[in-house]
Every structure is written in structure tokens, then in C-alpha cells.
């Protein structure tokens, strides 16, 4: 390897969402020449694209924000308990302006390849707009839920009406007035969008494959007093979120659900239901560990569905059976179940009657034809690995990441993978991000990478690379933790089960943020144990 090659840039960051913006800010702070390439026409990542009606965060606004600058905490004001997409996007726009990040971001530009050059020891990054740059480091801030996925339905190309995916929603919005709308998918996106589409459309037919557990958000505007209180208590809140396993200020119960009397249990769940938000399973400490505790929580939510939905047959169809609550991401809604009480809303169970084809003007199941003018695909994402797989990433000796991960993703700490020196992933598979408040995980990852690069830059190190042993141990560790939980018992995107043919491997680290943070800190203390730090060859000039 030549030691004298000079790179165009120190760092290329791919993506300008929560991860990419923070990475740019942090890397610049280290004095590294950094450029972000972003496929969208604005910053925000997931929150740029997910503009469907009702798109809203299911983590409370005051927790779902950067903590790196106490001044930012004081100046930004959240208007609601759960922020809607436009407000989160405005927040990220504000961050881009406030920290003068925009001149480091190239928008409307998709990275197509990132190749490690064994000769120069640099990365070569190309885009769909003809950029061809070399960089010493690459940070993949590509997001966990950014590769939207529309399943292959026979005949879909013949459909003459309008089609939308929730994650690629038109910038100007969609007017459903007077329309007969089919919605396919009842995950978080469908559950948020369906009530609002139903307010506009003449009819809505929802195609449900797996019934989902959803809890009320009880979203509300924040009063000036609450806003003041949030700001006053920010230092304490930030400390609490840092020390919590999920990166939120949700108070967790410390008893087993089956240790207490049925009445005590009901009261605890009832309080969480009334309070709103995804903290219901956290009423007890073992809902995701103990099947009996989980059944108790699941049955509580089913009893609510039966109370809300007037038609008992529809209610039963909406009641999830045989899937632990929380094993798939718990949905948080506003009026979801009650929407099915409206005359013009119909629920179709596609497990009973599968979708056979899409015709020029309808969705046809094995039982019936459902005419429609518009189809909304709320069908989710090729999660965690999809956005990475869409880029041609090649490491040492031309090793392709897609090939390396063909049996499932392999990372060390969710941050790096052997054979790909100086390439890092923020919130990648193997990180706890999607099982936590993702912003808190992202901040941790970016800060940790910042410290790693400080060490590397000051220590005359040219390449930092995870070892195969370390990543094999990490994957095993993630699996060992996962099988102790109920997570693997659902066919979720955590496992890749929603994408036909995708290897089924439990991808997120399920040990909680506290344990994860401790592990990462220990790795750093031991001078990056599990990574190989290769010194720069003599004669290196950059
Ligand atoms: P999800 O949670 O992956 O939900 C996708 C939904 O689409 C889910 O109900 C799927 O049913 C359904 N789906 C997927 N493929 C099909 C086919 N072929 N036929 C019928 N129905 C299908 O994605 P979301 O966008 O809602 O949420 C993603 C995350 O964003 C969420 O977890 C939060 O973290 C925020 P299935 O359950 O696979 O049977």
C-alpha cells in the first residue's frame, strides 16, 4: 500500500438525517474535512421522506432530540407531546442552520458506490450525479428504515389509479377527498395514516396481514408551563435518558407482571393506557421476557380493542393472537381502532383471503374484488441492512458487503465490520438503536466514533478495522441476548422476516443502552479492543 496518497476529503458521510447531521458536526469539530451526500432534496432523512398523513414520532418530543448542546435544548420549543413529521423536520432544518452544516451537505445526490482502494488505502466514493471523491473515512448514516419496500403483487403495474408508499410520500401531500382508498399494511405507518385517510376518503379498505398491537398516544399540545418545565429540567432529563436502557424518561416497573394480583396488574396497565404512549409493557419488568407476563399485557390490550370496536367480528380480526406484545414494534395511535366503527371503513384479513392480484382498478383477494382509485402501501422497509445493500460497498480485496452479509449482517458493536477499514455505520445492525430512542443511540455512536477518530488521528494510525473474531463474538452475543427475550417470536423487520428471502437473523442489540454503552466504553479504555489499529506507513503525507 502506498503511504503518500492524498485524499480529497477526510470523511464522507452518507445521509443527512439525525445521524448524518450529528456526524458532520462532530467530524468538523475534530478538524476533519467532511462532506455529506444526501439523496433527499432536504435534510431530515426518515423525517424528510415520511410525510404521510399522521406521520408522528412515538417517542416524546423532549426526549427525541439531540442532547449535545444545552443551548439548543433551551432555544428549541416543541409544540406537542409527540411531534409530527413537519415539526421534526423543522427541528433538523434548524440544527443544520444553527451549526452551519448546510455548506457541508450535497443534496439530491445518492451515493452509488464506496470502494476501498488497496493501493492507496483510501475510500473512493461515487454518486449518481457524477461525484467521484476519495476519503480516508466513510460514515454510513443511511438509516434503519430508509429503504422503502413495496412487495411484488401480481398485476401491480396495470393499476390505473394513484399509488403511494408511506415512506416516499409526495412533498405536496395527497388529497383523498372523493376517493376510494386501499391501504395495505398495518404497522406503525398504516396505524398512523389510516384514521386520517379515513377522515378524507369516501371509502377506505384496509388489507391486514398481521393484526398489530397499538396503544393510544394521547398526544396533546404542550402548554407554556409544560414547555418551561421541560427546559428547566433538561439537565436532569438528559441524565435520566442516558442512564436508561431505552433512552427515554419512561418510568419502568421493577416487578414481574405475574408477581402481583390480577387487580393490581389491571390497574397498572390501565394507568399506562390512560397515560398514553408506548410505555405500557414497561409497567412491569418482564413483559418482553416472560410469556405469562406478556400474555397478561396482550390480553389487556385485546380487551381494549373489544371495548372500542363495535362489531365483534371486526374486533376479533383486529386482536393479535399468537404474537407477543412488543415483539414487533408496538404501535402508538390516535383513534386507530375506533376508525373501524365508521361505515365507510372496511377491514380485510389477507391471511384468510390473500391478495391475489392488483387489477387496473382494484385489489383482488381470493374472496372478492375491492375497487379503488388509490393504493397506499404502508408495507414497511428492508430494515437495517436495506439502505446499505443498495450501495455497492467494497472493502479490502474487492470484498463486497452484500456478499459478506449474504447470510445476515455481521458487525462489531453495530459500528464496523471486518474487511472494511475506516468504514463505520451509525445505528447499524448489531446496535441497540431501533429498540431504543434512536436519537440517543445515534448520539452515543457518533460521540464514540468521534473519540475513536481522535485516537486514530493523534496516534499516527492509518486504518482502524474490526477483527473477525470480535465481530463473530458480537453477533453471537446479540443472538444469545435475543433468545432470552420474546423478540424472535414475531415475524418482524427486526429479524428481516418481512422481506421474502432475507436471511432471518435478529439484528438489533437487545441488551439495552446502559449495557451497550458500558461495553463500548470498555472497548475504548482497552485501546479499542477488537479493532486492529494499523500505523501509517513511513512517508505518509496526509
Ligand atoms: P412495518 O412495521 O414493517 O409494517 C408493514 C406492514 O405491511 C405490516 O403490517 C406488514 O404485515 C404489511 N405487509 C408487508 N408486506 C405485505 C404483503 N405482501 N401483503 C400484505 N401486507 C404486507 O412498517 P411501518 O412502515 O409501518 O413501520 C416501520 C417502523 O417505522 C416502525 O416499526 C416504527 O419503528 C416506525 P406483516 O406484519 O409483515 O404480516
- Please work out whether the CB of residue 190 comes within 6 Å of at least one atom of ligand 1: yes
- The CA 156 to ligand 1 mean position distance, Å, reads 18
- Whether 184 lines ligand 1, by a CB cut-off of 6 Å, is yes
User: Which H or E run includes 371?
Assistant: strand 369-371
Give, for 197, the enclosing helix (H) or strand (E).
helix 188-200
Which cell numbers hold the place of 80? 406537542
| Residue 231 cell numbers, joined | 427546559
How many angstroms is it from 378 CA to the middle of ligand 1?
A: 6
Neighbour count for residue 259 (Cβ, 10 Å): 12
Dihedral (C-alpha) 84, 87, 92, 95: value to the nearest 10 degrees? Answer: -140
Average pLDDT by stretches of 10, the chain with 542 residues: 82 98 98 98 97 97 97 97 98 98 98 97 98 98 95 97 97 96 98 98 98 98 97 96 93 94 97 97 96 97 98 98 95 98 98 97 98 98 95 98 96 98 97 97 98 97 98 97 94 92 94 97 98 82 48
Q: Is the CB of 42 under 6 A from ligand 1?
A: no
Distance between CA atoms of residues 20 and 45, nearest Å: 9
Q: Which mutation among 57, 209, 386, 499 tests ligand 1's pocket best, with the greatest number of atoms within 8 A of CB?
A: 209
Nearest alpha-carbon partner for 160 in 361, 370, 363, 357? 361
The packing angle between helices 262-275 and 291-308, to 10°, is 60
Residue at grid coordinates 442516558: 242
**pLDDT tens, position by position, 404-418:** 999 999 999 999 999
Of residues 368, 356, 386, 349, the one with CA closest to residue 152: 356
Alpha carbons 12 and 413: distance in angstroms, whole number? 21
> CA 427, CA 384: separation in Å to the nearest integer?
8
Binding site membership of 151 for ligand 1 (Cβ less than 6 Å): yes
- Neighbour tally for 99: CB within 10 Å: 19
Name the residue with the closest Cα to ligand 1, atom 38: 498
379 lines ligand 1 (CB under 6 A): yes
Say if residue 417 is exposed, middle or buried (CB neighbours under 10 Å; 0-12, 13-18, 19+).
buried
Q: Is 319 in the pocket of ligand 1 (CB under 6 A)?
A: no
pLDDT value at residue 542 = 47
DSSP 397: G
| Rounded distance between C-alpha atoms, residue 230 and residue 79, angstroms | 12
Contact 215, 280 (CB under 8 A): yes
Residue 186 beta carbon below 6 angstroms from any ligand 1 atom: yes
* Of 152, 498, 507, best ligand 1 pocket probe by most atoms within 8 Å of the beta carbon: 498
Q: Is the CB of 433 under 6 A from ligand 1?
A: no
Q: How far apart are CA 40 and CA 46, in angstroms?
A: 10
- Cβ contact 78:57 at 8 Å: no
pLDDT in tens, 118-164: 999 999 999 999 999 999 999 999 999 999 999 999 999 999 999 99
Alpha carbon of 381 to ligand 1 centroid (Å): 8
Does ipTM come in above 0.95?
Answer: yes
**pLDDT (tens digit per residue) in 490-512:** 999 999 999 999 999 999 999 99
Give this prediction's pTM: 0.96
Q: Are 61 and 234 in contact (CB under 8 A)?
A: no
DSSP string, 294-339: HHHHHHHHHHHHHHH-SSHHHHHHHS--SS-TTTSPPEEESSHHHH
Burial of 527 (0-12, 13-18, 19+ CB in 10 A): exposed
CA distance 92 to 24: 13
In short, whether 59's Cβ falls inside 6 Å of ligand 1 is no
Which residue owns the Cα nearest ligand 1 atom 37? Answer: 210
Q: Report whether residue 146 contacts ligand 1, using a CB cutoff of 6 Å.
A: no
Ligand 1, atom 27, residue with closest C-alpha: 188
Q: Residue with the nearest Cα to atom 3 of ligand 1?
A: 380
Which cell numbers in the block locate residue 203? 371509502
The residue behind cell 473474531 is: 469
* Cell numbers for 196: 386520517
Q: Is the CB of 365 under 6 A from ligand 1?
A: no
Please state, in angstroms and rounded to a whole number, the distance separating the CA atoms of residues 379 and 384.
15
Q: pLDDT value at position 1?
A: 65
Looking at the CA of residue 151, tell me the nearest atom of ligand 1: 18
Instruction: Determine whether the shortest distance from the Cβ of 185 to ligand 1 is under 6 A.
Output: yes
CA of 437 to the centre of ligand 1 (A): 20
Cβ(329) to ligand 1 under 6 A? Answer: yes
Which one-letter DSSP state was computed for residue 537?
A: P
- Regarding the beta carbon of 380 and ligand 1, being less than 6 Å apart is answered yes
Confirm or reject: Cβ of 435 under 6 Å from ligand 1: no
- The mean of the pLDDT values for the chain is 96
Model pLDDT, residue 428: 93
Amino acid at each position: 500500500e502506498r503511504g503518500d496518497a492524498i485524499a480529497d476529503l477526510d470523511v464522507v458521510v452518507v445521509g443527512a438525517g439525525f445521524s448524518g447531521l450529528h456526524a458532520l458536526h462532530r467530524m468538523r469539530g475534530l478538524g476533519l474535512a467532511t462532506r455529506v451526500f444526501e439523496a433527499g432534496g432536504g435534510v431530515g432523512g426518515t423525517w424528510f421522506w415520511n410525510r404521510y398523513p399522521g406521520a408522528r414520532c412515538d417517542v416524546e418530543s423532549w426526549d427525541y432530540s439531540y442532547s449535545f448542546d444545552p443551548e439548543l435544548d433551551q432555544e428549541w420549543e416543541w409544540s406537542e407531546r409527540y411531534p409530527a413529521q413537519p415539526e421534526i423536520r423543522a427541528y433538523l432544518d434548524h440544527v443544520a442552520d444553527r451549526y452551519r452544516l448546510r455548506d457541508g451537505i450535497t443534496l439530491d445526490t445518492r451515493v452509488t458506490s464506496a470502494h476501498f482502494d488497496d493501493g492507496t488505502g483510501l475510500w473512493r466514493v461515487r454518486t449518481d450525479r457524477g461525484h467521484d471523491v476519495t476519503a480516508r473515512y466513510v460514515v454510513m448514516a443511511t438509516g434503519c428504515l430508509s429503504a422503502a419496500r413495496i412487495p411484488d403483487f401480481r398485476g401491480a403495474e396495470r393499476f390505473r389509479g394513484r399509488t403511494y408508499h408511506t415512506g416516499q410520500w409526495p412533498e405536496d401531500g395527497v388529497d383523498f377527498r372523493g376517493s376510494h382508498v386501499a391501504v395495505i399494511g398495518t404497522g406503525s405507518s398504516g396505524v398512523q395514516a389510516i384514521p386520517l385517510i379515513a377522515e378524507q376518503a369516501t371509502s377506505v379498505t384496509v388489507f391486514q396481514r398481521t393484526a398489530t398491537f397499538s396503544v393510544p398516544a394521547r398526544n396533546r399540545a404542550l402548554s407554556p408551563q409544560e414547555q418551561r418545565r421541560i427546559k428547566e429540567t433538561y439537565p436532569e432529563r438528559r441524565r435520566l435518558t442516558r442512564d436508561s436502557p431505552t433512552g427515554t424518561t419512561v418510568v419502568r416497573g421493577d416487578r414481574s407482571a405475574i408477581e402481583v394480583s390480577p387487580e393490581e396488574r389491571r390497574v397498572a396497565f390501565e394507568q399506562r393506557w390512560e397515560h398514553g404512549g408506548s410505555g405500557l409493557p414497561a409497567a412491569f419488568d418482564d413483559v418482553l421476557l416472560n410469556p405469562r407476563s406478556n400474555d397478561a399485557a396482550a390480553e389487556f390490550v385485546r380487551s381494549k380493542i373489544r371495548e372500542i370496536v363495535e362489531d365483534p367480528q371486526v374486533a376479533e380480526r383486529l386482536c393479535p393472537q399468537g404474537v407477543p406484545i412488543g415483539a414487533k414494534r408496538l404501535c402508538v395511535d390516535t383513534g386507530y381502532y375506533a376508525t373501524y366503527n365508521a361505515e365507510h371503513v372496511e377491514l380485510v384479513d389477507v391471511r384468510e383471503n390473500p391478495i391475489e392480484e392488483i387489477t387496473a382498478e382494484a385489489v383482488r383477494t381470493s374472496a372478492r374484488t375491492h375497487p379503488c382509485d388509490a393504493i397506499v402501501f404502508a408495507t414497511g422497509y428492508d430494515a437495517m441492512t436495506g439502505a446499505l445493500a443498495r450501495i455497492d460497498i467494497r472493502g479490502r480485496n474487492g470484498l463486497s458487503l452484500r456478499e459478506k452479509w449474504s447470510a445476515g449482517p455481521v458487525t462489531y458493536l453495530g459500528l464496523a465490520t471486518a474487511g472494511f477499514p475506516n468504514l463505520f455505520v451509525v445505528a447499524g445492525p448489531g446496535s441497540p438503536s431501533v429498540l431504543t430512542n434512536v436519537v440517543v443511540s445515534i448520539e452515543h455512536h457518533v460521540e464514540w466514533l468521534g473519540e475513536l477518530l481522535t485516537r486514530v488521528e493523534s496516534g499516527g494510525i492509518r486504518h482502524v478495522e474490526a477483527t473477525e473474531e470480535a465481530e463473530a463474538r458480537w453477533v453471537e452475543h446479540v443472538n444469545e441476548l435475543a433468545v432470552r427475550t420474546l423478540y424472535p417470536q414475531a415475524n418482524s423487520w427486526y429479524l428481516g422476516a418481512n422481506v421474502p428471502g432475507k436471511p432471518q437473523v435478529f439484528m438489533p442489540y437487545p441488551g439495552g443502552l446502559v449495557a451497550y454503552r458500558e461495553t463500548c466504553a470498555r472497548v475504548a479504555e482497552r485501546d479499542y479492543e477488537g479493532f486492529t489499529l494499523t500505523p501509517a506507513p513511513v512517508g505518509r503525507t496526509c
